[in-house]
Amino acid sequence: MVSCLGQQRRADGRWCSVTHDVIVIGSGAAGLTAALALAERLRVLVIAKGTLTSGSTAWAQGGIAAVLDAGDTFENHVRDTMVAGAGLNRRETVEFVIERAPHAIDRLLELGVPFNTDGPNLHLTREGGHSHRRIVHVDDATGWAVQAALLSAAEAHPNITLLPGRACIDLITGRHEERYSGSGRVWGVYALDEASGKVEAHTARATVLATGGAGRVYQFSTAPRGATGDGIAMAWRAGARVGNMEMMQFHPTCLYNLEVKNFLITEAVRGEGGRLINPRTGKRFMAFYDERLELAPRDIVARAIDSEIKKFGLDFVHLDISHMPPDFVRGHFPTIHDKLLGLGIDMTAQPIPVVPAQHYTCGGVMIDLDGRTDLPGLYAAGECTESGLHGANRLASNSLLECFVFGEAAARHILAHWDRFDAPPPVRGWDESRVTNSDEEVVIKQNWTEIRRFMWNYVGIVRTTRRLERAQHRIRLLFDEIDDYYGHFRVTTDLIELRNLLQSADLIVRSALRRHESRGLHYTLDYPESLAESRDTVLVP
């Protein structure tokens, strides 16, 4: 193995690899949790696309679900999760995560996360689908506080190297070894240095995917710009199974504003008394859809809003919490209040215009309770995975919890079995001898826009087989176009993301076509009933 910095060339002109004990791809809650646990004994490289804070964690407004109240129980939290997940959850996983939630909160407190308190106890709020108050939060900006605490700890740790500005292209497997192997063993990742335009090979004994979801496959999404399904697509191309990709969660309440896109109005606004109003009739409408009203699970609320918008020809519905005391609203939702005030909306006195938007990828790379994927040497945690926790619909505030639990689980398994991890063999450097710089960047922009539009129109909140087949037809044509482009031009971040976006779209559509029922987030007019037995949709490369 040649050991050198990614910016140096070998004698043959190819870019050489950089070796670490473990590589973590992603600098959000799952990735940094894994890195901090691994760094107790190992040298860890954390790779991030863009900045270290550009992932989904920093955007999370709501909080972290944990049983901390005397009147609550693990069984209650398990039941709520299973009900929201429409029975598709794996109970073993649900129990595994929920029972570890209090420990995760304790660990975050140790790292200095300033959770809201109520006297001597942590303040607990309630969100849709929860039977009890169990959401630990930092005002309405929990994700940012968690991200800051984890990043501060990682920056201070001598065994952790943080490497932002790297767009990962493909996992390095046995077929990239200088002495070819078809083992499927993962040895690291090829990554583009976004500043220099050069591709580096980073190798390690183990690799942890913590790359987030694929929300940007849709035209309207609350996900950050980089949520293009990178880890899911890379794992699939390397040979890992993916599961339940049809289960894309749409958040019911994204701010409707033509100038400011993708601003989420947290679930907790409804949890603290917010009401959904039809702006034309002036009346609450959730009673027509579910007895739990605004506290019904997200899939039900999103479909209800979608139905009202289509039935009455609306652009949006209203979310109104102005009947609550102004100090209460400002105190609970300072970030949202200030943001809306800057847009001319006073949520203490006016309703908020909202529409549904894609919010969370409930499916992903298949993992076990140790975070292991199908591929030796590859682990995964967080939104890029299908762990069995969320089932057919994620319960509010279970997402950050999953990141902490599985980030630590993957790290603990790697540490416990470290003696069995072989050192990485020599791998081939990235070969760009037969490509040129692109002179057709407009192709990338056009294809990106097209994918997001047909996914929104054909594979959205309500689906039909015909719409799905139309989407699949477009995907097949775009695969040929993008593969040809990828084969002729040097990679850029936009091209890498486009390739992964299309692969993610393909996996979503293929999964949706296989599910001949409506369950949770997958609602199709051709199969409106749920089958008696719930089954995962598992795709095999």
User: Beta 275-277 vs 317-320: how paired, if at all?
Assistant: antiparallel
Residues in the chain: 541
- Count, in order, helices (H) and strands (E) of the chain: 14, 20
Q: Which amino acid is at 149?
A: A
Asked about 453 being catalytic, the answer comes back as no
Q: Is 322 exposed, middle or buried (0-12, 13-18, 19+ CB in 10 A)?
A: middle
Q: Which residues contact 465 (CB under 8 A, 6 or more apart)?
A: 513, 524, 526
SS3 sequence, 266-306?
A: CCHHHHCCCEEECCCCCCECHHHCCCCHHHCCHHHHHHHHH
Alpha-carbon separation of residue 371 from 365, 367, 386, 528 (angstroms): 10, 5, 10, 34
d(CA 143, CA 121): 20
What value does the CA radius of gyration of the chain take, rounded to a whole number of Å?
23
SS3 sequence, 401-470?
A: HHHHHHHHHHHHHHHHCHHHCCCCCCECCCCCCCCECCCCHHHHHHHHHHHHHHHHHHCCCCECHHHHHH
Which is catalytic among the residues 185, 298, 303, 452? 298
d(CA 203, CA 423): 9
> Which H helix or E strand runs over 105?
helix 101-110
DSSP 108-119: HHHTT----EET
Taking a C-beta distance cutoff of 8 angstroms, is the pair 521, 250 a contact? yes
Residues with catalytic roles: 298
